[in-house]
A and B are shown apart, each in its own frame.
Chain A
């Protein structure tokens, strides 16, 4: 028999949480892959790996703008459809089943990218395609693709120059659309892209200096293309060790991928940043900390909606870290990328190989005669 009873204690616990997410130092992300075509598989894999890392660290899709210039997962040349792998032997599928791509295919243009940054978007644009940030937001911008000295190629047909990017950041700064900005770029001559920044509170990292090429990491013979770029590969390894409560700071991120691993020399720029990088936590940009405040004030209401007396009590402010939202258990990447490749069992050659060799030997002996057998044995 179902009885109705007042779970009043439960109600108050439910009601007492005031989720002040607008007050937190919330992080927003923009991840852009600018390359089209199957052989640029690694750029899409780069972007998706960074996307997975930041989602694992607690940033929701509503705060991420993901731009992929081409569809690798459903590309007709993909031998494993609906997957994008970032490690060889197809160990880690970074595409998964909860990827939310905001700008896809031909929507990834310089104009759309600049519109997202500056907020000058046509009014009909849905919320998921906007960068909803304010002066309390820390923004991470990750870009990858083919680049040169002072430009980054979009879709093989247009470019964004470092001056445009710097001007876009200045427009964001003027309207206080960010509190602090971290810019990571993994392209050839990536350092040229952050040379022209002039707005405050920007920190930049690049995979290679001017005049150097960023190299790719490992090809996968089954898929037939290179799966990741070196710099992003080692950044991903670094991020796998981070959890939402980590105290790792930016100086550690600067050390990722030294020259002996990366071949190119990664660079960074911190002169526009106000805080000392060693005091900046990785989770300031890659994770999301929401402040929750518990209040004890109530207004007395009578059942017939008349307030009899007010009780303004002293309110104590507690700040708790909310339990970070977790997604479904993922592959333990840190274990996988460090394990040795599995030894395959030996099987005897199949019928086709046997038949082929029999044919070859038969033709040989037919041509040269059986008496030559003694030269073989």
Chain B
């Protein structure tokens, strides 16, 4: 009876051991991973390697220049070599992590008949009127006409001329090294009309490591999708002056053409307001004097200041170069191109910094959530940066600018998405305080039974040795 009881308890004990082991197995194999998975911060996968690759991106800014040679601009045997292409590439020495190279691709060709005719007219403005076809000129490209050394198209002492549209005129030379000399002149003119180091340095001013406290450089407005311009009229003494200004008419006549010319750089909205400072009720017996503001003089100053605010500075014109008079809008077409180059580079720098900062933050702070839509914005931003770099390298300025704007928008949207702040921080002692009451009552019996099983098994291994 005792033996049967002993066998029965043996079976019980064995069953008990198996049950305990099973519990432990389920807890460790199923429970632990399940708990880990359900309590981790959700992070949709991000292209970290691509983001770090963006920092080492090489930007190649291509400016396609078409150089048109008239009949007596260069020696005959040089004329025979036309058409061909010369590439002038230069690295911009900026202390920025992205390398920027400026590439002027000069396509040399002979002048067509109608171009020869136009360039033999009396003065350069007439020639331009015939030659310039703004709608055919691609953004970012330039056309340079090379005239003969003694042509009277330009004033005698001037070697080159920069027009309001994307055209320029340069004097040729009858010399053995004609192409080299003319090539240098062309580069000087092309740089003034497109990209110089200071244009890019101003665009990247935020990202360059320089001593901020000593630099008093004028900095234009940061690149943005849109701008709101408000014209305010301050009337310090409404009691004695009743001031009127025809702001609507002035904006329509003078400001709107300027903003239309700049429309590629962003959306603009204009409004106006009048401030009457110290508004006391005026004495009805003394009527205030009516003042009419001269809007032309006002707008002259404002347009000049708008140019400064957008960073359209007076270009560095090469020596002995005639700069054409400004257009009615107040903005030359190639000035807009310069702005777009600068803005594209600035946008790419900003987008890259934002994406890199996001990646760094995710590494440092463990409780930031990345949802799927945020991840897709990041992918879109990375793709846009790469596309913009490609377009810049192939010389398509407008699509490059559009891609760079998209890159900035997507990266900012991803970085500032409200969902990133989903979780708050729990210090370690709070985490223990939450988990111990839940897990300890369950874990202690399992652990203790495992220990007991282990000890008994070890004893049973040792026992046969002892007997023997």
Q: Which A residues lie at the B interface, using CB under 8 A?
A: 2-8, 10-12, 14-16, 18, 22-23, 110-111, 114-115, 118-122, 134-135, 150, 161, 163-164, 167, 170-171, 174-176, 179, 293, 295, 297-303, 305-310, 312, 317
Report Cα–Cα, A114/B367, bound state, in Å: 14
Report Cα–Cα, A251/B424, bound state, in Å: 35
23 contacts between A and B (CB under 8 A): A2-B287, A5-B292, A6-B292, A7-B291, A8-B297, A10-B291, A11-B298, A12-B301, A14-B233, A15-B302, A18-B309, A23-B218, A111-B424, A115-B418, A175-B354, A176-B353, A179-B212, A297-B304, A298-B300, A307-B326, A307-B327, A307-B328, A312-B314
Say whether A14 contacts B298, CB under 8 Å. yes
Say whether B418 contacts A15, CB under 8 Å. no
A115-B357 contact given A5-B291, A11-B297, CB 8 Å threshold: no
Cβ < 8 Å to A, chain B residues 287-345: 287, 289-294, 296-305, 307-309, 314, 325-328, 330
- How far, in Å, is B336 (CB) from chain A's closest CB? 16
Does B7 reach chain A (CB closer than 8 Å)? Answer: no
Among B242, B308, B364, the residue within 8 A (CB) of A295 is B308
Report Cα–Cα, A170/B326, bound state, in Å: 48
Cβ < 8 Å to A, chain B residues 35-69: none
Does B254 reach chain A (CB closer than 8 Å)? Answer: yes
Q: Which of B254, B301, B325, B418 has the most chain A CB atoms closer than 10 A to its own CB?
A: B301
Chain A residues contacting B420 (CB-CB under 8 Å) are 118, 120
Q: Which residue of B lies closest to A6 (CB)?
A: B294
Among B218, B300, B424, the residue within 8 A (CB) of A301 is B300
Say whether B297 contacts A309, CB under 8 Å. no
Say whether B425 contacts A3, CB under 8 Å. no
Say whether B206 contacts A135, CB under 8 Å. yes
Does B415 reach chain A (CB closer than 8 Å)? Answer: yes
Chain A residues contacting B242 (CB-CB under 8 Å) are 2
Q: Which residue of B lies closest to A274 (CB)?
A: B213
Report Cα–Cα, A261/B234, bound state, in Å: 48
Does B25 reach chain A (CB closer than 8 Å)? Answer: no
Among A11, A16, A111, A175, the residue within 8 A (CB) of B415 is A175
Say whether B219 contacts A174, CB under 8 Å. no
Does B417 reach chain A (CB closer than 8 Å)? Answer: yes
Report Cα–Cα, A164/B330, bound state, in Å: 51
- How far, in Å, is A274 (CB) from chain B's closest CB? 10
Report Cα–Cα, A317/B330, bound state, in Å: 22
Interface size class of B (residues with CB under 8 A): 35 or more
Report Cα–Cα, A23/B221, bound state, in Å: 9
Say whether A175 contacts B301, CB under 8 Å. no
Q: Which residue of B lies closest to A297 (CB)?
A: B304
Say whether B418 contacts A309, CB under 8 Å. no
Say whether B418 contacts A167, CB under 8 Å. no
Among A22, A164, A297, A302, the residue within 8 A (CB) of B308 is A297
Say whether B301 contacts A4, CB under 8 Å. no
Chain A residues contacting B290 (CB-CB under 8 Å) are 2-4
- How far, in Å, is A342 (CB) from chain B's closest CB? 36
Chain A residues contacting B206 (CB-CB under 8 Å) are 135, 176
Among A5, A163, A300, the residue within 8 A (CB) of B427 is A163
Report Cα–Cα, A10/B233, bound state, in Å: 11
Say whether A18 contacts B299, CB under 8 Å. no
Report Cα–Cα, A114/B368, bound state, in Å: 13
Report Cα–Cα, A179/B353, bound state, in Å: 16
Say whether A167 contacts B294, CB under 8 Å. no
Chain B residues contacting A307 (CB-CB under 8 Å) are 325-328, 330
Does B457 reach chain A (CB closer than 8 Å)? Answer: no
Chain A residues contacting B222 (CB-CB under 8 Å) are 22, 134
Say whether B361 contacts A120, CB under 8 Å. no
- How far, in Å, is A89 (CB) from chain B's closest CB? 35
Among A16, A114, A303, A306, the residue within 8 A (CB) of B421 is A114
Q: Which residue of A lies closest to B413 (CB)?
A: A123
Say whether A15 contacts B298, CB under 8 Å. yes
Report Cα–Cα, A11/B294, bound state, in Å: 7
Does B360 reach chain A (CB closer than 8 Å)? Answer: yes
Chain A residues contacting B415 (CB-CB under 8 Å) are 175
A120-B416 contact given A161-B425, A298-B304, A307-B326, CB 8 Å threshold: yes
Does B2 reach chain A (CB closer than 8 Å)? Answer: no
Among A23, A121, A150, A297, the residue within 8 A (CB) of B219 is A23
Chain A residues contacting B330 (CB-CB under 8 Å) are 299, 307
- How far, in Å, is A177 (CB) from chain B's closest CB? 10
Report Cα–Cα, A196/B308, bound state, in Å: 43
Chain B residues contacting A6 (CB-CB under 8 Å) are 292, 294
Does B75 reach chain A (CB closer than 8 Å)? Answer: no
Does B238 reach chain A (CB closer than 8 Å)? Answer: no
Does B257 reach chain A (CB closer than 8 Å)? Answer: yes
Q: Which residue of A lies closest to B365 (CB)?
A: A167
Does B95 reach chain A (CB closer than 8 Å)? Answer: no
- How far, in Å, is A314 (CB) from chain B's closest CB? 10
Say whether A110 contacts B254, CB under 8 Å. no
Say whether B254 contacts A305, CB under 8 Å. yes
Say whether A174 contacts B421, CB under 8 Å. no
Among A3, A7, A300, the residue within 8 A (CB) of B300 is A300
Among B221, B301, B353, B421, the residue within 8 A (CB) of A298 is B301
Chain A residues contacting B416 (CB-CB under 8 Å) are 118-121, 175
If A8-B297, A134-B222, A293-B218 are given as contacts, then 17 extra A-B residue pairs at C-beta distance below 8 Å, sorted by A number, are A7-B292, A11-B293, A11-B298, A16-B301, A23-B219, A118-B421, A120-B418, A121-B418, A122-B418, A161-B427, A164-B425, A171-B365, A174-B357, A295-B301, A298-B304, A299-B304, A305-B257
Say whether B357 contacts A301, CB under 8 Å. no
Say whether A167 contacts B354, CB under 8 Å. no
Say whether B424 contacts A306, CB under 8 Å. no
- How far, in Å, is A159 (CB) from chain B's closest CB? 9
Chain A residues contacting B296 (CB-CB under 8 Å) are 301-303
Chain A residues contacting B327 (CB-CB under 8 Å) are 307
- How far, in Å, is B208 (CB) from chain A's closest CB? 12
Chain A residues contacting B305 (CB-CB under 8 Å) are 18, 295, 297
Report Cα–Cα, A149/B308, bound state, in Å: 52
- How far, in Å, is A302 (CB) from chain B's closest CB? 8
Report Cα–Cα, A53/B21, bound state, in Å: 70
Say whether B297 contacts A2, CB under 8 Å. no
Report Cα–Cα, A8/B361, bound state, in Å: 56
